[in-house]
Structure 1
């Protein structure tokens, strides 16, 4: 048995969970996974972000003799992960390129001396002969492969370095391995198993449902203004992540939010590495910051109080979207996943795929990912049901997405769809030309322009046949027709042509039901009039919310003094628990979920003082 932290009176999995981490019971499959790995078996774990994956290797590492090796692609976050473990009394370190040679040597000596519970490193370091030799001389309790979906070449976040991790099977045959990911389809799941050479592993697939996240997708209409309304009306002063497709959009959106009084920072691969690191650390360690980023940001971010994730551009896949939205509400408190989505997103994504590099098979795979994403955006049934079905799980309507809260109205759009297809055919057949969405809509509306006059389009039989719809309604319809493959956007300029599903529509063999654009859905949650951070404390009475703010203020001071993130002191959920349970002694405080032995000894008296001051 490994020597668990000194103050762990009960050296069992449940005892460590309670004494070290401050939780009284396991969630879902956690206990079964821990027993599998602690008993020496391999495990492949598919569990949503915020589902408690890290405990599944941290506790077995404390139960088994030796040091647990954690493979993570996130060098920039390793110091924070180690700091969070240190905060609960676990001996942890990392080996990466940020260390000076003498610092790395000291960590290696700690490993060889058996003085570490957990050691983090990146995959490219692990496969080096020198590292494999070092580990062969140490006693290893387990090897954890985090973000294991990175091994899949058809996944959304492929990392070539991960392919080398198959060496673990030969190098450490007696050491249990656990591979973990928050996003994997059945195909990716199989690929993880094969590429990591884990045929005998026990598989644990948790529900991918995150009921605390409200999924909402609104028609794009001045997306930055829509984002600002979301922040001001629902999340003032709260932490959030905003995803944009391009670096330029990231920079402009962050600057625009700052100009509107929202504390925001940009993050993308084009920024200087030191600036990226500084912005990431500020986001993790300060309350209420909004980070505007490309998808380069966020994998492995362990900030539990991100209250919203917003997308100003269409993600490329449901896997990517699900992982990005999963960075909201890791503490289980109510959070929002919001997206602005428009016709231009569909056209630009198709153009990006068709004009990109890669084999035809790669492009087919990318189109398949995009089609699934578009189906989610255009669904007229519960978004959560559609999301979970993508990951192979059945569910019932959630009652907490925009579709459930504001069911869309549908209409028979068969005739307008036929008119649109006829216009595309006539434009191509009679004038030998193809056009983008704007000009095709002008033709349908009979709206003259310099281009239509030059091409004499007013002479066509389809000129002005679509005046029953407005321009906005045509754009809404066209977006949905593109998503269904009835119309396609091709070439560098996104010109419109009939799609593979056009034939049956033109022949009247199918009915085309489309949704009317819905008004934006607002969360049915009360906010206090004073604004400020309150989502986690939404259930508290006004007097309790004042105590919550006092505890947050105290926590910020402690975090600043220790140079750690506030959540490493206590999470918002733990602060709410403290207020609801109203402890009057250190022993009672120790019963609150999230208050482990080390934190109780370190902060107990100070917390009681804050509570006494405000009562």
Structure 2
């Protein structure tokens, strides 16, 4: 063992409290400590921070850590202080006087790590400061932000390409937990890392059980999930809106589940207090927007739940990766429904005029991949690994044995006929109605509205008795998620997409998992065949 490796092992034990490195950590740390640059792709909980924190202690000078979120840098500095490491941060929460004191301490060599936002790093003032001190390394955390193909692109990150020109010879380490092959290539290009080595760890988190289910009553479903699966255990629940985080936290507390809310709109002292309580106490459930979680060092989070669909598989993977960082079993649980699909597609269309066509296409592809993950009848883990380019046995319907698709006993059924009926009903009613109304038509409900529009006389009225209302919702959601419908107008009415032709002509087969509960009582035992629907054909 080299003297550098011996020093690294000693620091690992004495400062960070670990007896051995995990995965590629030792190799990465030696690579950086020897003055080389690299890209590190490592899952959340895999120990990315150590890959630059330990080299910062092995090399002369101060390590500059570029971090996108204030909460992330503050949390990491707090943890480093507890370990006796000389670390600080510079961000917008500090007064100019406090920042000036830190800058003087940097000049005096009083820090080993300084965390900064990319906006500060790019200022002439900070450049001038860095030119006067020895720099150990630059660490670009959340490096996917540098790429326009990434799921959280930030223009300021793109300007970090100036680092090798302004600070030649200083090693750079770019780190991310979630980047597909295209994004990884773009990170190397944007940061001018050239032929720098890429360390890519496995994306597989075998201790996580992935569960995605249809939304019915999301609060009640969440409460039952926590009570039945994780009573008294710590978890994170992600919501899209600030209001929803507060309302959900209040509702859980009213049902004797200790919960706290966290979002960017809260007063900083309150937000900080909630984060500290979550980290230090047992059994707290944090209800949060995506603003929460980056850099959170709490290994015993037993579940991460989503009450709304995230924006992409990358976001989903990163957020769920905060569960089970101690390697023990944990759950990644999510409910979703047609409203999520409509919301995300609407957001994607709203952004279309503000970004280039290739970037828009990439965003649409990410959304399609997320929806395909939600609707798959095959192993969810295999889907995730395939998305990130990690080889898996994608030919196997049941691969991991630790996701709802692999654990369920509900068989996959061919529901092409039901899909044809749904599509035909949309067409026959003029492509101007929402899902619930269309289900009423298919199941033959005699409502005033249906009679008013004359849809009790269309050929698709009452032809859908083989499925229950919930069964039809699953069919419609699946078709909407996979792009056979589009939702337009203020009422988000359903229209047929060009891809629907393949189903209506019998060229595309649709398979779903439907339990007996999803079949109507009078048709529970009847198989869905291809015999007698009134099926229109789009020309």
Given the two structures, how large is their TM-score scaled by the length of structure 2?
0.89
CA contact (8 A) 2:76 2:295 kept: no
1:359 Cα shift? 4.0
State the distance in 1 between where 2:250 and 2:109 align: 49
1:26-175 superposed matches below 5 A: 26-175=21-170
SS of the aligned residue for 1:12 comes to helix
1:102 Cα shift? 4.3
Change (3 A) 1:459 1:416: same
Aligned length: 508
1:363 Cα shift? 4.3
Most deviating of 243-252 and 280-289: 280-289
Residue in structure 1 matched with residue 502 of structure 2 by the alignment: 504
Residue in structure 1 matched with residue 423 of structure 2 by the alignment: 421
Which of 386, 392, 401 is the aligned partner of 1:389? 386
State the distance in 2 between where 1:202 and 1:391 align: 18
1:14-29 superposed matches below 5 A: 14-29=9-24
Which of 428, 452, 455 is the aligned partner of 2:453? 455
SS of the aligned residue for 1:347 comes to helix
1:455-604 superposed matches below 5 A: 455-516=453-514
Residue in structure 2 matched with residue 539 of structure 1 by the alignment: none
1:256 Cα shift? 0.6
1:330-345 superposed matches below 5 A: 330-345=325-340
CA contact (8 A) 1:72 1:121 kept: yes
1:436 Cα shift? 0.8
Which of 366, 370, 375 is the aligned partner of 2:367? 370
Change (3 A) 1:374 1:257: same
CA contact (8 A) 1:254 1:265 kept: yes
State the distance in 1 between where 2:487 and 2:294 align: 32
State the distance in 2 between where 1:354 and 1:39 align: 47
Does residue 440 of structure 1 match 2:438?
yes
> What CA deviation, in whole Å up to 9, does each residue of 1:134-160 have, x standing for no partner?
111111111111111111233222223
State the distance in 2 between where 1:79 and 1:352 align: 31
Most deviating of 154-163 and 462-471: 154-163
Given the two structures, how large is their TM-score scaled by the length of structure 1?
0.79
1:232-243 superposed matches below 5 A: 232-243=227-238
1:315 Cα shift? 1.6
CA contact (8 A) 2:87 2:114 kept: yes
State the distance in 1 between where 2:356 and 2:458 align: 37
Tell which has more relative contact order, 1 or 2 (C-alpha 8 A, sep 6+).
1
CA contact (8 A) 2:411 2:514 kept: yes
State the distance in 1 between where 2:177 and 2:433 align: 42
Residue in structure 2 matched with residue 250 of structure 1 by the alignment: 245
Does residue 328 of structure 1 match 2:323?
yes
State the distance in 2 between where 1:174 and 1:518 align: 66
Residue in structure 1 matched with residue 527 of structure 2 by the alignment: none
Residue in structure 2 matched with residue 379 of structure 1 by the alignment: 376
Residue in structure 2 matched with residue 268 of structure 1 by the alignment: 263
SS of the aligned residue for 2:304 comes to strand
> What CA deviation, in whole Å up to 9, does each residue of 1:501-545 have, x standing for no partner?
2112211223322221599xxxxxxxxxxxxxxxxxxxxxxxxxx
State the distance in 1 between where 2:72 and 2:264 align: 16
